[in-house]
Amino acid sequence: MEKLFLSISQKIQVNANTWVITFNETLKFYPGQFIMIETPKLVRKPFVLGRWDKRLSISVQVKGEGTKWMVEKASHLKCHGPLGKPFDMNQGKGLFISSPTCLTLANILKENFDVDIIIGSRTPLLLKIPYETVIGDKKFLKLLKSLTGYDWYLISGSVEMEKVVYKTLKGKKLYFSLEEFMGCGIGACKSCAVETKNGIKHVCTDGPIFEGDELCW
């Protein structure tokens, strides 16, 4: 972990409320790790690290004042990282099911693992991506029910989406990337607690990726 000062290279709009931000700098990190980014708000926010056009990048879903500032005004970002446990899955073929907010993670997974990618979005994408894309909830559910032949699945999206996937694919080897409000990102404040079958764990140090069967749905 180190202090970082990243200069923004590009901001690319992906759908109605999601952007990819690429940086000029390089950083050694592992799939699943994240950085805490400062915005005009009081608490830094976590963003999963990834790749876009071979550059270090993050995906940003505009949710409020801080993320709006990031996509509209920011030219440099103060942050710290990389943080979190790397996702290490070198066995068999996997499938990454994600909302557009993890497009950049999809790219880094593709670099590291034997994995197919499906991007599910409620609204149409504004750019072409090299992955299968499903628009709308009904089509997404239909696709989920048809999935076979993968050794593991990694899912990243809204809580609702993750619940639907868990219910539909239960019994398979499932991993979920979780989001919880974080104060520090480094294990100091204990704010990002998540209830698991093995007791309270913390998204910043035990995650952000957890096995589906470990979580209390």
By C-beta, is 63 or 93 nearer to other proteins? Answer: 63
Q: Does 159 bind other proteins (CB under 8 A)?
A: no
Complex with other proteins: residue 16 or 43, whichever CB lies closer: 43
CB of 88 to other proteins, least distance (A): 22
Considering only 192, 208, 209, 210, the residue that binds other proteins (CB under 8 A) is 192
The reply to whether 214 sits near other proteins by the rule CB under 8 A is no
Find the shortest distance in angstroms from Cβ 40 to other proteins. 10
Under the binding rule (CB under 8 A), the answer on residue 17 touching other proteins is: no
Q: Is residue 215 near other proteins by the rule CB under 8 A?
A: no
Q: Which two tokens stand for residue 114?
A: 């034997």
Residue 197 interacts with other proteins (CB under 8 A)? no
Q: Binding mask 67-106 vs other proteins (x if CB under 8 A, - otherwise)?
A: -----------x-x--------------------------
| Contact indicator for 150, 116 with CB cutoff of 8 Å | yes
3-state SS of the chain? CEEEEEEEEEEEEEECCEEEEEECCCCCCCCCCEEEECCCCCCCEEEECEEECCEEEEEEECCCHHHHHHHHCCCEEEEEEEECCCCCCCCCCEEEEECHHHHHHHHHHHHHCCEEEEEEECCCCCCCCCCEEEECHHHHHHHHHHCCCCCEEEEECCHHHHHHHHHHHCCCCEEEECCCCCCCCCCCCCCCEEEECCEEEEHHHHCCEEEHHHECC
Which stretch in 22-30, 94-102, 188-196, 206-214 sits in contact with other proteins by CB under 8 A? 188-196
CB closer to other proteins out of 62 and 184: 184
Q: Footprint of other proteins on this chain (CB under 8 A)?
A: 1-3, 38, 41-44, 78, 80, 180-184, 186-195, 199-200
